[in-house]
Structure 1
Amino acid sequence: MRVDRYISSNRVIDLTHQDLNAAYSELLGTFKNLLPSPRTRKKVLNELITREHAITSYLGEGVALPHARVKMKRPFALAIGRCPTGLSFGGQGSYDEIRYVFLLLASENAKNYLSFLATLARTFQDKSVMDHLWMARDLSDFKNVVRHAFSGTDERPARRRTKFNKLLTDEAAKIAKAADCSTILVFTDVFPASLAPRMTFPGFRVILAGEGVSDHELDHHRAHAALAVRSLSNSRLSQLRAAILLGLTRQIFGFKDRVCCVGGIPQSGQLDTVLVVDVDEEFESVIGHEEDMLPTGVSAEALERLTAIATDLALTGREGKSIGAMFILGDHEEVYKRSKQLILNPFHGYEEEDRNILNPFMDETIKELALIDGAFIVRGNGVVETAGSLIQAKAENIILPGGLGTRHVAAAAISQATNSIALVVSSSGQVTYFRKGRMFTLFEKSAGRAF
C-alpha cells in the first residue's frame, strides 16, 4: 500500500504546542482544503480527544497515530508533526515520550482503513526508518526522511546480487519447471531489506512469504501476492507450514498444487535451499479438504492477523516471560454458549472497530490480556468478543499426542463442537492450529523448525 500518495509536504510541520489538544488542532489546521469548515474540524478534534480518553494513540517508539473517519473524497490523508519535547495529556506520563504525531483521516467509505493503519504501524517498527526520523535536523530534512520512508525508495546501501544467489534462483526455476510446479514461494526474511536481490521467475506465479512484505517488494519481484508470516527461529523455511496454511485459506494455493520453495537462514543474505512440496500429500491428511479450510464467515485476513499475533506471543512472550494463550475464531455465538467468563469482559462497551484484531492498536491489548487464564473469542471478521473465557465443550473421540495440556484439549473440543478455528500458543513456544478436532502444528520454537 503506497502511503506516500497521501502525504503532502505542507502537512508536515513542527508543532508549537505541547498540549495534546492544541497539537491535534494544529495538525487539523493543515487539512483546510479537505475540511474547509471550522465546525467540521472542531468535531473531528472532539472525536480524536474522546478516542484518546478511551484508547491511547501512542504506539511506542515515540510515535502517536491518532485517526478518525470523515466525509471526504480522498480515501486517506495524513498530517505529520514533530514535537521534540513531547506532549501532555491529562497528566499521563507516556505522552511525554511522543516525538512524532501521524494524524490519519480516512474517508467514511474507505474499505481498507485498518489495513492502512497496519501498514503505518509496520513502518514504525522498522528500526532504520525510526533512526532516520530521529536524526533529521531541521524540518526540510524531516520532510525528506518522511517521503523516503513511505515511498518505497531506499537510501540505504545498494542491493547485493551475489553470484551464488543468482545461481540458486536460476536452478530453482529449472527445478520448478521440471517438477511441474505451479508456484514458486520465496521466503523474503532471508534478506535484510537493504540487501534483497531482485528475484523474478517468468512463467510462474510468485508468492512472497515474510514479515511485513511491502507493495514495493511485490513490484520489485513481480510477485502475485504476499503472505504475512514471521520467522520463529534461525532455521531454514521455519515459516513454511504457516505460509502454506494461509495460502490455502486465501485460495492462493490449492490442494492439488505443487510448490517450489526457495529460502535460507533468516537475515543471512544468502539463499541456500530449494524444496518442492506437494500440498495435498503434506497437508490434506492433517487439515482436511479444501472446502473445510475456513469456517463460514471467517475471513482469511482475520486468520492471517491472528496467526501473526500468536507467533509474536510465542516468540517474545510478555515482559520477558513465556506465556500460553488460546484464540477461538468464528462461530462466536455457538462458542459463547460453550464457555464461561472467568473475569468481567474487558472488551464490553467498545466500538467494533476499536476491538478488531486487524487494528494495530489492539496488539498490545491482546498481549497484555493473554496473561489472563482463558480464551479469546473472536468473530470471523476479527472483532474480539471477549477474553478470559473458560471453554466447556465436550472432548469426544479426540486423540492428541502425549504431553499436551488442557488448553490443547479444550481447543480441539471447541473446534469439533462448533464451526470454528482454534489457535493455541504454548509456553514452550509452539503454535498449534485446530480445525474439526484435528491438530496442525504451525511452529515449534523449541525444536527450531516447523517442517
Structure 2
Amino acid sequence: MAKFSDQFQAFCDIAIGLKNAQKADAILLLLERPTDFKQLEKAFAEEMVVVAGDTKAALEGSGESEFDTILLNMPDEAPVYERLTQALLEAVADEYFAEGASVVAVYSGFEAGVIDSLSLIKLDEHLGRLTVRDLRQLKTKIPVETIKLVVDLAVEIGREGREGKPVGSLFVVGDHRKTMSFCHPMGFDPVKGYNKAERQLNDAKVRDGVKEIAQMDGAFIVSADATIIASAQHLSAPNVPELSLPKGMGARHWAAAEITAATGAIAIAISESNGTVRVFQNGEVKLRIEPFRRAMKWKAFDTDSPS
C-alpha cells in the first residue's frame, strides 16, 4: 500500500477548499496506485467523493470505505485527459454525478503515481464537446465529416427521443456493400424507392425524417458519402468469439460490435435506456458520448491535419 503522503493530504485539503469556494457538487479522485482508504476517508470526511482507479489494485481496500468507485480498465498509455473523461462519463452513467454537475478532479498530471494536479470541471461543457481530432483517431477511410454528421444526428436522437420517450437506434457507416451482404430487411423499409439525392444526410429534411423513423426496429446503413442505403435492417454478421463488451450491453451493441469486426464500417449505437451514443470500430467501443440537454459543440484544433 502506498504511503499517504503530506502532499496527498495537502491536495485533498485544497480540493475541499476549491469545491467550497466554487460551490462545486463533488470531488473525483483518480488513482494510479493503491492508497490508504482509511486515511482517505479522514481526509474527505463529509464530502461527496468518487474514486476512480486505473486497475483493481489501485482500488484495493475501497470496498470497506464509503466511497463510490469506478474501475477504468483503460490502456496504460492512455493520456490523463482521456482517463479523466472516461471516469466522468462512468460517474454520470452510474448516476454518481448529475449531468450538469461541477466537479473538482484530483489526479497525477505530471509524475506517475503522485497526486500533483487538480481541475475544476463543468460536466455539461466538458462532456458535451467532441473534437474533430477525436474522430480522426478512428483511423478510417470514411470521411470524418460523414462520421461527424451521423454522430451529431445520433446524439440528437439520444437527447430528444420521440414524443418524450427514449429511442434506441443503430447506424452503420461506410463499407456499405460488404455491410449489406450481412443484412436483410425486417419488413417495410421507409427509404426504399427514393433517389440518391432524397437520401442524403446532408439535407436537414432527410435528417428530420430519420428522426421520425429511428424508433423502428433495425439499423440504418449509410455510405461513406452520407447517403442512406437502407433502413430497418437486421444485421447477421458472423459471431466473433473474441469480442468482449462491458456488462449491460444489449443486442444492439453486440450487433454494432460484430458488424464492425466483420467489415470496415463504423457503427454508431444509441442506447434506448439512457440515450448514450457509442461509436464502434473493429468490434470495440472507441468513443462514448452522453446526450446532454445542450447541443454538442465541435471544436477543431490548430494541430489537426487538413481533411
Question: Taking structure 2 as the reference length, what is the TM-score of the superposition?
Answer: 0.52
Alignment of 1:435 with 2:276, yes or no, is: no
Please, which of 316, 326, 339 is the counterpart of residue 160 of structure 2? 316
Q: How far, CA to CA, are the matches of 1:249 and 1:387 in structure 2? A: 24
Q: How far, CA to CA, are the matches of 2:130 and 2:159 in structure 1? A: 20
Please, which of 293, 303, 313 is the counterpart of residue 147 of structure 2? 303
Give the unaligned 5+ runs of structure 1: 1-231, 251-289
CA 1:415–1:234: 2 relative to 1, 3 Å? same
1:89-108 alignment to 2 at 5 Å? Answer: none
C-alpha displacement at 1:353, in angstroms? 1.9
C-alpha displacement at 1:401, in angstroms? 0.6
Aligned to 1:234: 100
Q: Which amino acid aligns with 2:100?
A: N
Aligned to 1:382: 226
Please, which of 242, 252, 258 is the counterpart of residue 407 of structure 1? 252
Q: Which amino acid aligns with 1:376?
A: F
C-alpha displacement at 1:344, in angstroms? 3.0
C-alpha displacement at 1:238, in angstroms? 4.4
- 1:176-234 superposed Cα distances (whole Å, 9 cap, x missing partner): xxxxxxxxxxxxxxxxxxxxxxxxxxxxxxxxxxxxxxxxxxxxxxxxxxxxxxxx943
Q: How far, CA to CA, are the matches of 2:165 and 2:217 in structure 1? A: 15
* Residues 302 and 382 in structure 1, CA contact (< 8 A), matched pair in contact too: yes
Return 314-323 or 339-348, whichever deviates more: 339-348
C-alpha displacement at 1:375, in angstroms? 0.2
Q: Supply the RMSD in Å over aligned alpha carbons.
A: 2.5
Aligned to 1:339: 183
Q: How far, CA to CA, are the matches of 2:155 and 2:163 in structure 1? A: 16
Q: Which amino acid aligns with 1:429?
A: G
C-alpha displacement at 1:247, in angstroms? 2.4
Q: How far, CA to CA, are the matches of 1:247 and 1:422 in structure 2? A: 18
1:71-220 alignment to 2 at 5 Å? Answer: none
C-alpha displacement at 1:371, in angstroms? 1.0
Where relative contact order (Cα < 8 A, 6+ residues apart) is larger, the structure is 2
SS at match of 1:413: helix
SS at match of 1:321: coil
SS at match of 1:328: strand
Please, which of 225, 232, 246 is the counterpart of residue 132 of structure 2? 246
Q: How far, CA to CA, are the matches of 2:230 and 2:125 in structure 1? A: 29
SS at match of 1:326: strand
Q: How far, CA to CA, are the matches of 2:127 and 2:264 in structure 1? A: 22
SS at match of 1:361: helix
SS at match of 1:343: coil
Q: If each structure's helix is expressed as a fraction of its own residues, which one has the higher value?
A: 1
Question: Taking structure 1 as the reference length, what is the TM-score of the superposition?
Answer: 0.36
* Residues 257 and 280 in structure 2, CA contact (< 8 A), matched pair in contact too: yes
Q: How far, CA to CA, are the matches of 2:260 and 2:176 in structure 1? A: 11
SS at match of 2:204: coil
* Residues 328 and 378 in structure 1, CA contact (< 8 A), matched pair in contact too: yes
Q: How far, CA to CA, are the matches of 2:174 and 2:124 in structure 1? A: 27
Q: How far, CA to CA, are the matches of 1:342 and 1:379 in structure 2? A: 20
Q: Which amino acid aligns with 1:381?
A: D
* Residues 242 and 443 in structure 1, CA contact (< 8 A), matched pair in contact too: yes
Aligned to 2:271: 426
Q: How far, CA to CA, are the matches of 2:199 and 2:275 in structure 1? A: 25
CA 1:400–1:239: 2 relative to 1, 3 Å? farther
Q: Which amino acid aligns with 2:200?
A: N
Q: How far, CA to CA, are the matches of 1:238 and 1:400 in structure 2? A: 27
SS at match of 2:150: helix
Q: Which amino acid aligns with 1:433?
A: V
CA 1:244–1:309: 2 relative to 1, 3 Å? closer
Count of aligned pairs between the two proteins: 175
C-alpha displacement at 1:441, in angstroms? 4.1
- 1:307-330 superposed Cα distances (whole Å, 9 cap, x missing partner): 111111111101110010000000
Aligned to 1:371: 215
Structure with greater Cα Rg: 1
CA 1:402–1:346: 2 relative to 1, 3 Å? same
Q: How far, CA to CA, are the matches of 1:443 and 1:320 in structure 2? A: 20
Q: How far, CA to CA, are the matches of 1:417 and 1:239 in structure 2? A: 36
CA 1:351–1:442: 2 relative to 1, 3 Å? same
Alignment of 1:392 with 2:258, yes or no, is: no
CA 1:399–1:242: 2 relative to 1, 3 Å? farther
SS at match of 1:423: strand
C-alpha displacement at 1:365, in angstroms? 0.9
Question: Identity across aligned pairs (percent)?
Answer: 27
Q: How far, CA to CA, are the matches of 2:186 and 2:129 in structure 1? A: 34
CA 1:337–1:245: 2 relative to 1, 3 Å? farther
Q: How far, CA to CA, are the matches of 2:178 and 2:100 in structure 1? A: 40
* Residues 128 and 290 in structure 2, CA contact (< 8 A), matched pair in contact too: no
- 1:276-326 superposed Cα distances (whole Å, 9 cap, x missing partner): xxxxxxxxxxxxxx4x522x3x22111111111111111110111001000
Q: How far, CA to CA, are the matches of 1:445 and 1:242 in structure 2? A: 8
CA 1:234–1:353: 2 relative to 1, 3 Å? farther
- 1:225-279 superposed Cα distances (whole Å, 9 cap, x missing partner): xxxxxxx9435254656755532445xxxxxxxxxxxxxxxxxxxxxxxxxxxxx
Q: How far, CA to CA, are the matches of 1:293 and 1:384 in structure 2? A: 22
